[in-house]
Chain A
Amino acid sequence: MGLTDSIATRSKELSQKWADLILGTYPEQTQVVWRKNRDHFTNPVGSAILASTSELIPLLLTWNDAAAVARSLEQIVKIRAVQDFTPGQALSFVFLLKKLLRQEFTKELAARGELEELLRFETRVDNLAVIAFDLYVAARDQIARMRVDEVKRAHTNIVRRANLMKADVTAQKAD
C-alpha cells in the first residue's frame, strides 16, 4: 500500500493525532479542559482544531481545491493569529503534521526504500503552510484596519460637528 493510501485509510486517526499535537502547543491545564469538552460553542478552539484537521487530511490527499483548503484553515489560523503566539508559533501547527507523518511512516517507508514518497507528500504540507501564511497576514491586517475604523466610528458626530465648524471658518475667510 502506498503512502497516500495508508493516509487515506487512517485519515480519522491521523486527524485526531494531529489535533492532539496542536493541543499540545497550549499550556497543560488548558489541554486538560479542552480535551474533555467536545461542545462546539463552549469550546470553540478545541472544536475548530479538530474540524480543521479532519477536513484538511482528505483535502491534502485530493489536493485539487486550494479554496477549500483555505476555508478549512481559516478558523484555526484566525484563532491563533489573536492568541498569545509569535507568528512562528501560531503557524507551527502546520508543521506538526510533518512531525506526525514522519513519526507514523518514516520507518516503514525507509524499510521499503520509499522515503521519497514521504518527502513528495510533504511538499503539499509546505504548500499548506504557505496558504496559512497568507491567511495569517490577512488576519493581522484586518486587526490593524479594525483598530483604525473603530476610532473613526467612535467620533462620527464629533467629527461631523468639527467639519461643519471648519466649513464656517473657511466661508468667513472667503468673504
Chain B
Amino acid sequence: MAKIIKPDELLKSINYTPPAANWMDLPNDLSPGRFAYPAKQDKVEYLMHEIPGQFGNPRQWRPEDVDWKLPSNWKEIVMNGFRERLDKYRSLKLFMDICVRCGACADKCHYFIGSGDPKNMPVLRAELMRSIYRGEFTLAGKILGKLTGARVMEEDVLKEWFLYFYQCTECRRCSLFCPYGIDTAEVTMMARELLHLVGVNINWILEPVANCTRTGNHLGIQPHAFKDIVEFMVDDIETITGKHLNVPLNEKGHEVIFITPSGDVFADPGIYTFMGYLMLFDAIGLDYTLSTYASEGGNFGLFTSADTMKALNGKMYAEANRLGAKWILGGECGHMWRVVNQYMDTMNGDMQGPQMKTPVSPITGTVFENAKQTKMVHIAEFTADLIKHGKLKLDKSRNSDIIATFHDSCNPARAMGMFEEPRYVLKNVVDQFYEMPENTIREQTFCCAGGSGLNTDEIMEIRMRGGLPRGNALRYVQEKNGVNTMACVCAIDRATLIPLADYWAPGVKITGLHELVGNALILDGEQERTMNLRQEPLPGMEEE
C-alpha cells in the first residue's frame, strides 16, 4: 500500500480564502460579462447634434482595453460637470453631505443580495462618488484625504463608476430604507450624466435614445412599418375572436391618445398585452387613436440625463396637441410612469395644449383627479374602474389554467404607489392568485434586474444574480401554491422576467396584465373562443 500523506499536509492542502483589501485598493475587474457594450460612435455623434451639451467624445472604444481614449482634459470636464450639478441640484449636494453610513441600505439592493460584491451595497456605490466629492470639493477631504474617506479623481475611479453605476437599476428599493430619504437612483443618474460628458456610455441605452429621437420609438421603426405591425395584431385578434377591429392611427379629433412602450408592439410576449389593449378599447367603444410618432412610452432619457429625458418626453404632449386629444391613456410600462408621475409636469407641463382636460372615463364618468396635472391615466387604473362599475363582460374560465402571482414593477410601485389597481384587475380575470412573500412585493418589491437600460444580453450573469431575490420569491410560491404565471405591468419586466424565471423558477410563464384581460374579455359579436391570445388552446379545448 502506498504511503499515506501526512495529516498536516492534508490539512494545509485546501485554501480558498479571498484576499482582504480596502475597497479603495481593489482593482477594477473589466473582464467580459461585467459591463454592457459601449455606444456606437454614430449614435453618440447623432445625439450630440440633436440634444447638445449632454454627450461627448464619440469614438470606438472597448472597456476591456487599458486605454479608453478619453479626452486629455477629461478630468476637468467631469469635475466641472460635477460642480455644475452640485450648484444646480440641491438634492445632489444634500445626498453627498448627509449620509451617515448607517448601513440601513447595505443589504437592500438586489445586485448586492445576489452578488455579494460590497461595491453593490447602495451605501458603498454612492460612496464611489461621495469620496470624490469629499476629496475634490470639501476642505476636510482636501486636507485629510483618505482619513475622511476622500480620494481624488483618477482614471480608475472613472472606470469604477462605469462598472458600478451600470449595476444599479435605479429601482429605489434602498431609498425606501434610508432614514434620510436619500434617493440613490438620483446619485446614479448624476454619475451617468458625468460619464456621458466624456463619452463613457452603453449602447443599450444610447441606441434606443437615438432611435427615439429620430422616429419616436426604441427600435427606430418608421410609421409605415409600425402600421404593418399593428395590422398583424389586428389579424391575430381576428383569428382568435372572429372580429376585425378598427385601430385608428394618427387620426385627429379623438378624445384619447393611447401611448404604450414599443416593446408591446414588437416583442414577444408584450404583443399579447397590446392585443389585450386593442380588444378592451373595442369592447368599451373607446374614442381613441394611436400615434406612430408617440410610438414609445418608454423613455431611456431617464437613464441618460435630465435634458435627454425631457427631450424624449416632449412628444407625448406634442402628439396629443397635434391630434387634438383631451387626455392620454398610458399602457403597461415601468419607468415611463416614473417619468410621467414625477417629472413630466415639471419638465413639459407648459406644452399641454388648451384642449387637454383632466381625464374623465367616458364609460363610467370617473374623474381621474390624480391625473389632473399630467392629463395621463394608467391603464390599470382605467380598467380597474371599468370593472368596478361592471362595464366589462369577463369570462374567467378562459384563464382557469393559470395560477397567478403579481410582480410589482419598481416604478409603478415605488414612484407611483400603484399597488391595488393591477391586483384588482388580476383577481377579476383569474381565479387563482397568490402573493409572493410580504418583504418582496408592493413597496418592497424586488427589481427584475434589467431596469434602467440594463436589459441587454451581454450582462446576463449580472442580471441573473441581481434577479435572484425576485426569482427566489417566485420559486417559493411556485413550490408552495403551484404558481405557473407571473403577471406584471412593465414592458422591460415582460422581457427580462422570462430568462429570470427560466433560470430561478423554471416553468413559470410571464404575462402582461392586459393579456389576461384580453383572454377573459367577451367582445360583442365574437365567435366562440378556442384559443388564448398566444393561440394556444383554451382550457378544455385541447382536443379540438
Query: Residues of A at under 8 Å CB distance from B?
Result: 24-30, 33-34, 37, 39-45, 48, 78-79, 82-84, 89, 92, 95-96, 98-99, 102-103, 106-107, 110, 115-116, 119, 139, 142-143, 146-151, 153-158, 160-161
Contacts and interface: CB of A to CB of B under 8 A. Distances in A.
A24 B167 CA distance: 24
A110 B4 CA distance: 10
B106 A33 contact: yes
Given A45-B116, A82-B461, A157-B229, A146 B121 contact: no
A143 B460 contact: yes
B469 A42 contact: yes
Contacts of B267: 153-157
Interface string B106-139: 1110001111111001001000000000000000
**Which 9 residue pairs across A and B have the least CB separation, nearest first?**
A99-B14, A147-B457, A44-B472, A146-B499, A156-B268, A82-B464, A30-B116, A29-B118, A26-B116
Contact of B11 (A27, A102, A146, A155): A102
Interface string B422-450: 00000000000000010110000000000
Interface residues of B, number: 61
Contacts of A103: 11
B498 A155 contact: no
A33 B268 contact: no
B221 A115 contact: no
B17 interface: yes
A42 B113 contact: yes
B94 interface: no
B460 A146 contact: yes
B97 interface: no
Interface of B: 4, 7, 10-11, 13-18, 20, 23, 29, 34, 106-108, 112-118, 121, 124, 219, 221, 225, 228-229, 232-233, 263, 265-269, 271, 437, 439-440, 457-458, 460-462, 464-465, 468-469, 472-473, 476, 495, 498-499, 502-504
Contact of A84 (B34, B265, B457): B34
A91 B142 CA distance: 45
A82 B467 CA distance: 11
A160 B232 contact: yes
Nearest to B118: A29
Given A41-B476, A147-B460, A158-B266, A106 B11 contact: yes
Residue of B16, B269, B458 with most partner-chain A CB within 10 A: B16
B56 to A, nearest CB: 29
A95 B16 CA distance: 9
A106 to B, nearest CB: 4
A84 B472 contact: no
A161 B225 contact: yes
Nearest to B233: A157
Given A45-B116, A83-B115, A99-B14, A150 B499 contact: yes
28 contacts: A24-B16, A27-B18, A29-B121, A34-B116, A42-B108, A44-B468, A82-B465, A82-B468, A83-B115, A84-B34, A84-B117, A95-B16, A96-B16, A102-B14, A107-B7, A142-B502, A143-B464, A149-B498, A149-B499, A153-B269, A153-B498, A155-B267, A157-B271, A158-B225, A158-B266, A160-B229, A160-B232, A161-B232
Contact of A157 (B232, B462, B472): B232
Given A27-B116, A45-B113, A146-B499, 6 more contacts: A41-B437, A44-B472, A45-B114, A84-B117, A102-B14, A160-B229
